[in-house]
Chains A and B, each alone.
Chain A
Amino acid sequence: MTMFAVAMIAVLVSLALAMVRAIAGPTLFDRVLAVNSTGTLAVLALAVIGFVTGRPEFLDIAILYTLLNLVGTIAVLRYFHPSEN
Chain B
Amino acid sequence: MAILVDILSWFFLVAGGAFCIIGMVGVLRMPGMFARLHAASVTDTLGAGFIIIGLILQAGFTLVSAKLIIIMGLILLTSPVATHALAQAALHAGNRPKVAHDETGGHIAGEDEPSNS
| Contact flag (A, B; Cβ within 8 A) | yes
Contact between chains at B44 and A47 (CB < 8 Å): no
Majority secondary structure of chain A interface residues (helix, strand, loop or mixed) = helix
Majority secondary structure of chain B interface residues (helix, strand, loop or mixed) = helix
B38 to chain A, nearest CB (A): 11
A21-B93 contact in complex given A14-B43, A33-B40, A66-B78, C-beta closer than 8 Å? no
- Chain B residues with a Cβ under 8 A of chain A: 6, 9-10, 13-14, 16-18, 20-21, 23-25, 27-28, 33, 36-37, 40, 43-44, 47-48, 51-52, 54-55, 58-59, 63-64, 67-68, 70-71, 74-75, 78-79, 81-83, 85-86, 89-90, 92-93, 95
- Chain A residues with a Cβ under 8 A of chain B: 3-4, 6-7, 9-11, 13-14, 17-18, 20-21, 27, 29-30, 32-34, 36-37, 40-41, 43-44, 47-48, 50-51, 56, 59-60, 62-63, 66-67, 69-70, 73-74, 77, 80-82
